[in-house]
Structure formats: C-alpha cells, structure tokens
C-alpha cells in the first residue's frame, strides 16, 4: 500500500473511534477491518490471523473482540451510515 491509501483508510476508520470505549478495542477493530480486506479465504478469524501473519495467540483476543462490551452494533451502524454518506454519497436523480 502506498501512503495516500493509508491516509484514506485512516480518514475512513478514524470516525469509528468514538464507537469504542477503549483505545485497544478500536485498534483491534482496525486490525480486523484490514484483515477482512486482505484475507485470501473465508475461514473467519483464522484467515485474518494467517493473512496478517499475526501470532496464533491473537485468536482468543480476536474472538473476544466480537463479544466485547466496549462497543455496540447500534453505534457502529449509525457511524457507518454517516461515513458512507460523507465518502460515498448517493446520487439522486
């Protein structure tokens, strides 16, 4: 990836920071999003770990992320709608 792409991804993901009560949880969110973008198969968390070359001990942490109380689906959904409207507005004819 080149620097402009990293800046663009940062601009897209940074607004989600407010959805997380802990900085570490937000950082795992970024890892998971990048992992989903780069994974070569659809075998779940294992794909993310393998394709990002993470230590196998990260498996439990990644699984815990999806059950964490440090974020909520409703706040993520609201933020997602805002980010999509800002970066990919619908064209109304």
In this structure, is residue 92 part of a structural domain?
no
Contact 13, 30 (CB under 8 A): yes
Domain hosting residue 69, numbered range: 3-87
Which tokens go with 88?
């990919």
Q: What is the pTM assigned to this prediction?
A: 0.87
Domain count, the chain: 1
Q: What is the pLDDT of residue 92?
A: 82
In this structure, is residue 10 part of a structural domain?
yes
**Burial (CB count <10 Å: 0-12, 13-18, 19+), residue 49:** buried
Number of C-beta neighbours around residue 88 at 10 A: 9
In this structure, is residue 42 part of a structural domain?
yes
CA–CA distance, 12 with 34 (Å, rounded to integer): 12
Which tokens go with 80?
């997602």
Q: How confident is the model over 2-6, as a mean pLDDT?
A: 83
pLDDT tens for residues 23-78?
999 999 999 999 999 989 999 899 999 999 999 999 999 999 999 999 999 999 99
């Amino acid at each position: 990836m080149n620097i402009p792409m990293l800046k663009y991804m940062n601009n897209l993901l940074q607004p989600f920071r407010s959805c997380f009560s802990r900085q570490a949880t937000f950082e795992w969110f970024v890892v998971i999003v990048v992992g989903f973008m780069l994974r070569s198969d659809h075998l779940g968390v294992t794909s993310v770990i393998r394709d990002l070359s993470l230590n196998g001990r990260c498996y439990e942490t990644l699984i815990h992320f999806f059950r964490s109380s440090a974020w909520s689906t409703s706040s993520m959904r609201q933020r997602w709608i805002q980010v999509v409207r800002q970066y990919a507005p619908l064209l109304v004819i």
